Structure 1
Amino acid sequence: MDGRTTRQRLAVMRALADCEDFVSAQALHNLLVENGIRVGLTTVYRALRDLEASGGADVVRDDAGERLYRTRPADGHRHYLLCRACGRSRPVDSAIVEEWAGRIAASTGYAAMEHTVELTGICTTCQPSGEEGEPPCRLERAPDTQGRARNCVS
C-alpha cells in the first residue's frame, strides 16, 4: 500500500484477508458495509489497486472480465485454478511457468518481466449431476442477494 494507509484501507485489507477465494471489489465493499464499516467503493478499488501494485494481492479476471482479488500469501506470487461456476480457487504448482518466464526474460534481455496465467475449469462439486445439468454449488458459492461473496468470513 502507499503512504496513505487509513482506517478504511486497513479495513479493506482485513476483509480481503478473511476471504478464502477471489472476490470482486463490489462484493468486498458490500461485505464491509454489511459489517458496519463506512467506506466508499472508490476507496475499496484504490486500496485493492495499491495492494496489487505492492504485491499484496493476486488478481484474476472472471468470464465477464471483472477483476477478482485475493490476498497474496507471504511466500509470494501464485497461479490459481478458478472454478467458472462457483468461483472457488486453488493454488497450482507453477514452478515450470516461473522458470519459463525467467528463461524468456533472460533470452530477450527484458527486465521487470511480469506474466499472467489464467487457468479455469469446473470443480468437482460444480460438475453437473446429470439430472438437470445445473452445477449444484452455483447457488451456494455465488454472491448472495446483497452481492456479498459467501466465501468470506463476516
Structure 2
Amino acid sequence: MTVPEQAEGTTRRPSRRRSAVLELLGDLDGFRSAQDLHALLRRRGDSIGLATVYRALQALVDDGQVDVLRGADGEAAYRRCSPVHHHHLVCRSCGTAVEVADPPVERWAARVAAEHGFADVQHQVEVFGTCAGCASATS
C-alpha cells in the first residue's frame, strides 16, 4: 500500500473515518489490531470497511497521532500516542503498554548513527516483559 507523500510538518485534512478511528483509540487502553478496531467500530454502528480502517490507521501513524507495534507474529497493533518521541514497555501477558522517554537511549542512537556515518536517523524501542499486575497474579 502506498501513501501519498506529504510535505514535512503538514497534516492531512481530517476525515470522518480517521476521526472515528482516532476517537475509538482514545477510548481504549493498550494496543489493538486493525481487525479489532474494525469490529468495535461496526458494533458502534459505523459502516466503515476494513480497508478504510487500515488506510485511516496508516494516515494517523504517518501524522504521529498513533503508535504501531509489531508483535512476534508480525501483526501490527495500534494505539493513540502522545505527541513527543517515546518508547514502550509492553506486558506480554495482558498487553498493557506504558510510554517512556529515555534520554540515554536517544544519545546512544545518535552516537551509534554518527559512528557509522548515518544521518536523519529514526528509531523505535519496545521493551517486553510482565507488568506488576500479571506478575502478582501468577505468584
Q: TM-score range by the shorter chain?
A: 0.7 to 0.9
SS in 2 for 1:102: helix
Structure 1 residue aligned with 2:76: 67
Residue 92 (structure 1) aligns with: 100
- In the alignment, the residues of structure 2 paired with residue 129 and residue 20 of structure 1 have an alpha-carbon distance, to the nearest angstrom, of 22
Partners of 2:23 and 2:120 in 1: how far apart?
Answer: 29
- The one-letter code sitting in structure 2 at the alignment partner of 1:10 is S
1:54 maps to a residue whose letter is D
Alignment-mate amino acid for residue 89 of structure 1: A
Tell me which residue corresponds to 1:55. 64
2:138 counterpart of 1:116 = no
When normalised by structure 2's length, the TM-score is 0.80
Indicate yes or no: 2:138 matched with 1:129: yes
What is the aligned residue count? 129
Shift of 1:62: 2.1
* Local SS of the residue matching 1:69: strand
Q: Compare 97-106 and 2-11 and name the one that shifted more.
A: 2-11
1:97 Cα offset (Å): 1.1
- Which structure's relative contact order is higher, taking Cα pairs within 8 Å and 6+ residues apart? 1
Deviation at 1:105, TM superposition (A): 2.9
Query: Aligned with 2:22: secondary structure?
Result: helix
1:12 aligned residue: 21
Q: CA deviation at 1:123?
A: 1.5
Q: Map 1:26-37; keep pairs closer than 5 Å.
A: 26-37=35-46
CA distance in structure 2 between the partners assigned to 1:4 and 1:40 by the alignment: 20
Q: Is the 8 A contact 1:63 1:84 kept in 2?
A: no
Higher helix share: 2
Q: 1:58 touches 1:77 (CA, 8 Å); kept in 2?
A: no
Using the alignment, how far apart are the partners of 1:49 and 1:65 within structure 2? 16
- Give the structure 2 partner of residue 24 of structure 1: 33
- AA of the residue aligned to 1:115: H
Question: How far off its partner does 1:64 sit?
Answer: 2.0
Deviates most, 120-129 or 11-20: 120-129
Name the structure 1 match of 2:4: none
CA drift of 1:2 comes to 6.2
| 1:76-87 matched pairs, under 5 angstroms | 76-87=84-95
Unaligned regions of 5+ residues in structure 1, if any?
131-154
- Provide the C-alpha distance between the structure 2 equivalents of 1:37 and 1:17, rounded to a whole number of angstroms: 16
